[in-house]
Structure 1
Amino acid sequence: MNYILLIFPVLVGSMLVFVIKPSNRIVRLLLAFSGAYLLSVTILHLLPDVYSESQNHKRIGVFILIGIILQSVLESFSKGAEHGHIHIHSDGKRFPTLLFISLCIHAFSEGLPIHNTDYNLLWAIVVHKIPIAIVLTTFLIHTKHTKKTVFIFLFFFGLMSPLGVLVGNKFQFFTIYGTEITAFIIGVFLHISTIILFESSENHKFNLQKFTAILFGIILTILTL
């Protein structure tokens, strides 16, 4: 079931682009909602869990910081794709290898701790991936990559999180250090979600629709506690 749910948002996001072609305004609102939901799940669910499972709070904090730092490094290659803003130019002649590798690493790592947590992490990833898949598919189409390239990119990107779940389940290492790995992912989520919330508004002006989307994401998380 976890595997299907993790592939589902990539399929939905890409199909929305090909069928509906959502406007930039809709995508920004989806990003704001997903960012708020991701941040709320991280603060209300994941953070309390990792600190309650470990006596060494400093160690947990270090892994959270490592997650933030590593995500910053990955974004230098992905150009912000994880938070819905791809600052990269391509003529469609070359496969975006660095973008592909960095996104696959990100997606794979997200799946690793799922077997050690409840469904909150799973749903946070699902909600987060839908607008990201929309932005990614739109980018690949606009840069005039062939449909084959777009399909290959999205296919393997969609498989990375389920692969992370599979590896996390099969190898005892990821169970033994499950709390630390979850702390690492918390750092990644904190970095991504805060950037999404800051970048989803134009010139940092108050936007009622964006505020409503953020509020909805927060309330939804609280109601699922």
Structure 2
Amino acid sequence: MSYLFLFLAVVVGYVVALFLKKRELRNMEVFLAFSGAFLLSITVFELLPHVFETPSKSIGVYIMLGILLQIFLEFFSKGAEHGHVHLHSETKHFPWILFVSLSIHAFMEGFPISEDNNLLLAIIIHKIPVAIILSFFFITAGYKRITTLLFLFFFAIMTPLGSFISLNYSIVHQYETEISALVIGIFLHVSTTILFESSKNHKFNLPKMTAVLVAVFLAYFL
């Protein structure tokens, strides 16, 4: 069922985007702030303690590598992971660079998901607003529907694929801590960027601040 929920998060995003108008997209900032705070909180409350059960400096190295990997991916995706989409193709060809960078990010997200943490919920909450914004820009930019649907379909299956491989291949289990630390770095970069970029001039208004506090509260008591 977890695979289905991850896939449906992108489907929900696409359906919502079909009915959105540009002015309504601004309301996504509060949802983005909530999703960023929730992902960050789950990372800090649940994933970090797990990888540091046996403290080691090498874990910190993998976390930093994850941060650097995400910075590298965003060089090509231009920040689509946290709600920024920049598509300039006049011929509306399939955006392979954006697809590959987003797919790597989504694939890595699936590895730490397990019954021992609430990461599944955090990623679903993270994926919905990103899928909405991604779908909205594909639609308004005039891309063919088949291009949009193919992009979203393969993007949607990447996180379930990462989770499936993590749970079913023993070689992955041997490096579970290192991979989790790498993904933690990715989450730390993405979630904090969402928090800062969802606020104009890096300032929080009352609705966004409330969304952040509610997200942290819920993540702690789950």
TM category, shorter: over 0.9
Q: Distance in 2 between matches of 1:77 and 1:61?
A: 25
1:92–1:143 CA contact under 8 A, matched in 2: no
How far 1:202 moved relative to its partner? Answer: 1.1
Match in the other structure for 2:47: 46
Match in the other structure for 1:127: 125
Q: Distance in 1 between matches of 2:139 and 2:113?
A: 32
CA RMSD of aligned residues (A): 1.5
Match in the other structure for 2:31: 30
Inter-CA distance 183–45: structure 2 relative to 1 (3 Å threshold):
same
From 149, 156, 159, the equivalent of 2:157 is 159
Match in the other structure for 1:3: 3
2:20–2:136 CA contact under 8 A, matched in 1: no
10-19 vs 181-190, which moves further: 10-19
Aligned pairs for 1:201-212 within 5 A: 201-212=199-210
Task: Please list every run of 5 or more consecutive structure 2 residues that lacks an aligned counterpart in the other structure.
Answer: none
Match in the other structure for 1:223: 221
From 188, 194, 197, the equivalent of 1:196 is 194
The answer to whether the aligner puts 1:104 opposite 2:103 as a matched pair is yes
Match in the other structure for 1:113: 112
How far 1:70 moved relative to its partner? Answer: 0.3
Runs ≥4 residues deviating over 4 A: none
Match in the other structure for 2:63: 64
From 117, 125, 142, the equivalent of 1:144 is 142
The TM-score, its normalising length taken from structure 2, stands at 0.94
How far 1:90 moved relative to its partner? Answer: 3.0
How far 1:25 moved relative to its partner? Answer: 2.6
1:33–1:214 CA contact under 8 A, matched in 2: yes
Q: Matched residue pairs, number?
A: 221
Q: Which amino acid aligns with 1:62?
A: V
Q: Distance in 2 between matches of 1:90 and 1:140?
A: 11
Q: Percent identity?
A: 52
